Amino acid sequence: MSDAFEIINIGMNHRTAPVELRECLAAQEDHEERALRAIRDCDVIREGAYLSTCNRVEAILVTDRAREAERWMLSLMAELGGTPRDTIAPSIYIHKGLDAVEHVFRVAASLDSMVIGEPQILGQVKEAYARATRRRTSGVILNRLMHKAFHVAKRVRTETGICESAVSISYAAVELGRKIFHELEGKKVLLIGAGEMAEVAARHLITAGVDGMWVANRTFERAVEVAGYFQAEAVSLDEIPVVLEKADIVLSSTAATQYVITHDMTRNVLRKRRNRPLFFIDIAVPRDVEPRVNDLENVYVYDIDDLKDVVEYNREQRKAEAAAADRIIREEVLKFDRWLKTLAVVPTIRSLREKAEAIVRSEWKKSDAALAALSPEQREAVRVLTRSIVEKVLNDPILFLKGKAGRETLEGYLDVTRKLFNLDREE
Amino acid sequence: MSYLLFDMALGLVLIASGGYVVFIVSQKKWVAGVSFWVLAAGFVCHSLFLGLRYVALETLPVLDFKSALSFFSWSIIAAYLALYARFRLRVLGSFAAPLAAVFMILSSAMPWTQGPVKPVFKSLWLTAHAGSMFLGNGLLAVMFLSAVMYLIQERQIKKKLLGSFFKRLPSLATLDSINRQSLVYGFPFLTLGMITGAVYAQNALGSYWRWDPKEVWSLITWLLYAALLHERLVAGWRGRRAAIGSIVCFCALVFTFVGGSLWLGGYHSFRSLGAP
């Protein structure tokens, strides 16, 4: 058995894959279980975990034959997604060795998220790992890797401010909402249009505590569909003025070429609203909300460029934090590398011990007749004697090898050891 | 002894104001924490000072401009501390403490003029009248501050200037809520001050209302605040309009306080209060 294993990571995320593809792979709940079953039954793969969220699908594998494992995993993903291999191949990234370790650390620390610093991903990674342990697809390497990843995530969260500042547009919208409404608990949201951005932002608003949501869309069916997603109420575009009387936050992202929200429409509802503040988040291009609406009292309109400015502003502040996070990741990857290298010594040491053990056993057998005359106590004494001689002889070479773990010269020393003791059973 | 207490109160309020300014710039919470306790200590010293003065004069120490300013400063801090218990808003201290400090400094810059107090002022009615007026003024001063903060923050959000002010100032909803609360609590004190004043005038001077300039201006101010309260509670004013309203009302209040006491004459002016 060869011990030249490799850690590989195969997957796609919001940056590499279009949303339609991610939807195919992320939608079904039993995907993860099916993937893990397949991983367990696969000969090429020693250990594996499978992570699937709305913005990413990835497998972390420990394998002896990386090339084959890659191909196999790609086919599995294509099969799960019900799409041909060629369709998903361009959207897939593959990391190997320390790059894979770094990637896993970054994912767990939420540095690779669409909304950097968002807290859910760590829970999802933990969940994926728990599933892998339940299915027994996780082993020595993966256990260590995942626990380290959780540790890294914790360090990044506590030692850097990266999770605190708004870095995505939707997060910025939530932060602005808080500056207007103080808290979003109990606030009501009207979603106009139902694109991907809108969904992400809506999910953020829900996490922030809004309750009550309407979804308006050009095609009513789609409105119903999205409304079902957020347990919201579907309304038609004509009903918008009525809903405006009740909503606090309006998130608009239609493909309409004309203004969906006009100055007159908004002015007319203000009186009925008794001047409660109204916050428009317009992430559509071209814009859905007439810019003049911002001139109305207690009405605040932020379009996509305004929000980008907010994000940009925060990004400036975030640079230093990102550098700190990178440093933590690099540090931990190095530590993990050191551990992996000590692992390289283990098989040789094990073979050494096994060989010695085999010699003791066979010699003992040969002398069995001669030792038969001894009393049980004497036989025991001889057994202890032989063992301790073997132990003492092996002790120094083993210590020497352990000491070389992680050094560049290790490979040579291991080679010499295996030859010297003829561990690879050459004639 | 009492002057030492006043100086201590002045010193502590100045330190607290400095601390609150450092807090708003540096955003270090412990600075605000320390400032809060320094301010509270200053408030205690000031209260003791006022208590001693009350015993010495046998009436509320508000009969000359120096004392009135000192008492006004005390009421602002009292209002801030009361609202702090409700809203826990540190950054309001960065505005209230310096305002109180300004009045303290003005007060301390004036000479002590301890004349004999006319027997007519040694009345519980005067204590009730001036006391509730000043407590109301303190709350309405904080209301004014929250309105200023509201207008600054609103402007930042409207104009999309999301810089340091935006980050440091509280949310519009919080500021509006403080503004509303201080009006809802401040206005009854103002009303109570008007009523006790009238009763006191009836007892001391024989008529409830004498068209004294300060009385007239107080009535105007009271009507303005009453209108603002009405608009807020009934017509649903809030936010920017209410904030501008509170600033206008506070200008009237300050004019009444300063003008009625110094320039307009009448029996409310300090000249006639102090005259033996």
Domain spans of chain A, in order of start: 6-159, 169-311, 346-420
**CA distances, B253 to each of B64, B70, B74, B214, B249 (Å):** 18, 17, 17, 11, 6
Question: Look-up: residue for tokens 């006491």?
Answer: B261
Mutate to test the interface with B, among A169, A179, A276 (most CBs of B within 10 A): A179
B102 and B129 both lie in a single domain: no
Count the neighbouring beta carbons within 10 Å of the beta carbon of residue A295: 12
Amino acid A26: pLDDT: 64
Residue A427: the pLDDT is 45
Cβ-Cβ pairs closer than 8 A, A with B, add up to 49
The answer to whether the bond into A119 is cis (omega within 30° of 0) is no
Helix, strand, coil: what percent of chain B each, to 5?
80, 0, 20
Confidence of residue A166 (pLDDT cuts 50, 70, 90): very low
Q: For residue range B118-170, what is the model confidence (pLDDT) as tens digits?
A: 777 888 888 899 999 999 999 999 999 999 999 999 999 998 887 777 878 88
Q: How many Å lie between the alpha carbon of B112 and the closest alpha carbon of chain A? A: 46
Domain that holds residue B146: 118-276
Average pLDDT over residues B102-126: 82
CA separation, residue A181 to residues A39, A297, A298, B168 (Å) = 49, 15, 11, 15
Mean pLDDT computed over A109-125: 79
Does pLDDT of B60 surpass 90?
Answer: no
The CATH number for A6-159, chosen from 3.40.50.1980, 3.30.460.30, 3.40.50.300, 1.10.8.60, is 3.30.460.30
Tell me: the pLDDT tens digits for B226-236? 999 999 988 88
Mean pLDDT of B166-178: 88
Q: Look at the block and give the residue holding tokens 């999309």.
A: B160
Q: What percent of chain A has pLDDT over 90?
A: 32
Tell me, yes or no, whether B227 and B166 share the same domain: yes
A20-36 burial code (b ≥16 CB/10 A, e <16): ebbebbbeeeebbeebb
Q: What is the pLDDT of residue B74?
A: 94
**Tokens 């201080």 correspond to what residue?**
B182
Indicate the residue among B62, B81, B114 that finishes a domain: B114
Please report which confidence band the pLDDT of residue A21 belongs to, taking 50, 70 and 90 as the band edges: confident
- Residues B84 and B177 grouped into a single domain: no
Least confident of A96-110, B87-101, B160-174: B160-174
The stretch B75-90 carries a mean pLDDT of: 90
Looking at B114, B137, B161, the residue that finishes a domain is: B114
What is the count of structural domains for chain B?
Answer: 2
Q: Which residues of B touch A309 (CB under 8 A)?
A: 160, 162
Last residue of a domain, one of B96, B114, B132: B114
**Above pLDDT 70, what percent of chain A?**
91
Are A240 and A268 a contacting pair, CB within 8 Å?
no
Active site includes A163? no
Task: Tell me the backbone φ, ψ of residue A64, rounded to 5 degrees.
Answer: -90, -30
B237-260 pLDDT, tens per residue? Answer: 888 899 999 999 999 999 988 887
Q: Report whether the peptide linkage leading into residue A286 is cis, meaning its omega lies within 30 degrees of zero.
A: yes
Confidence of residue A168 (pLDDT cuts 50, 70, 90): low
Answer whether residue A162 shows pLDDT above 60. Answer: yes
Q: A301 pairs with which residues across the strands?
A: A280
- Do B248 and B218 lie in one domain? The reply is yes
pLDDT at residue A28 tops 90: no
Amino acid present at A172: A
DSSP-assigned letter for residue A277: -
**What's the pLDDT at A314?**
66
Pick the CATH number of A169-311 from 3.90.110.10, 3.40.50.720, 3.30.70.580, 1.10.3720.10: 3.40.50.720
Q: Are residues B65 and B51 in the same domain?
A: yes
Task: Spot the catalytic one: A24, A42, A54, A163.
Answer: A54
| pLDDT at res. A27 | 55
Q: Given CB atoms, is A184 within the 8 Å cutoff of chain B?
A: no
Check if the beta carbon of residue A192 is closer than 8 Å to that of residue A251: yes
- Evaluate whether ipTM surpasses 0.85: no
In A303-362, the residues whose Cβ lies within 8 Å of chain B are 306, 309-310, 313
Q: Which residues of B touch A161 (CB under 8 A)?
A: none
**B66, pLDDT greater than 50:** yes
Which of A182, A311, A315 to substitute to test the interface with B, most B CBs within 10 Å? A182
Which two structure tokens, joined as six digits, stand for A219?
A: 């095609």
Q: How much of chain B exceeds pLDDT 70, in percent?
A: 96
My answer on whether B122 and B95 are in the same domain is no
Specify the pLDDT at position A280. Answer: 93
If asked whether residues B41 and B136 sit together in one domain, one would say no
A276 to B238: CB separation less than 8 angstroms, yes or no: yes
Residues of B in contact with A179 (CB under 8 A): 153, 157, 166, 171-172
CA B240, B245, B250, B255: dihedral to nearest 10 degrees? Answer: 140
Amino acid at A53: T
Contact A233, A240 (CB under 8 A): no
Minimal Cα distance from A271: which residue of B? B236
Same domain, B138 and B78: no
Distance from CA of A48 to the nearest CA of B (A): 45
* Average pLDDT of chain A to the nearest whole number: 85
For B156, which residue in chain A has the nearest alpha carbon? A179
Chain B interface, Cβ < 8 Å to A: 153, 157-158, 160, 162-163, 166, 170-174, 177, 236-241
Would you call A30 helix, strand, or coil by DSSP?
coil
pLDDT mean over A164-192: 80
A271 to chain B, closest Cα gap in Å: 9
**Mean pLDDT (whole number) for A405-420:** 84
Residue A134 burial by Cβ neighbours in a 10 Å radius (0-12, 13-18, 19+):
exposed
Based on the fold, state whether residues B12 and B31 are members of the same structural domain: yes
3-state secondary structure of A373: coil
How high is the pLDDT of residue A115?
Answer: 63
pLDDT digits (tens, 9 = 90+) for B8-22: 999 999 999 999 989
Q: Are B98 and B174 members of one domain?
A: no
pTM score, whole prediction? 0.64
Q: What confidence category does residue B1 fall into, taking pLDDT thresholds of 50, 70 and 90?
A: low
Cβ neighbours of A313 in B, within 8 Å: 162-163
pLDDT, tens digit, for every residue of A229-276? 788 899 988 899 999 999 999 988 887 888 899 999 999 998 888 888
Identity of the residue numbered B274:
G
CB contact under 8 A, B241 and A179: no
The reply to whether B107 and B15 lie within a common domain is yes
Amino acid at B82: A
Same domain (yes/no): B122, B255: yes
Tell me which DSSP letter residue A55 carries: S
Interface of A with B in 129-148 (CB under 8 A): none
CB contact under 8 A, A294 and B172: no
Reported as a pLDDT band with limits 50, 70 and 90, residue A2 is very low
pLDDT in tens, A329-356: 999 999 998 888 888 788 888 889 999 9
Sorted by sequence, the CB contacts under 8 Å of residue A217 that are 6+ apart come out as A192, A193, A194, A223, A226, A234, A237, A254
- Choice between A163 and B255, residue whose per-residue pLDDT is larger: B255
Distance from CA of B122 to the nearest CA of A (A): 48
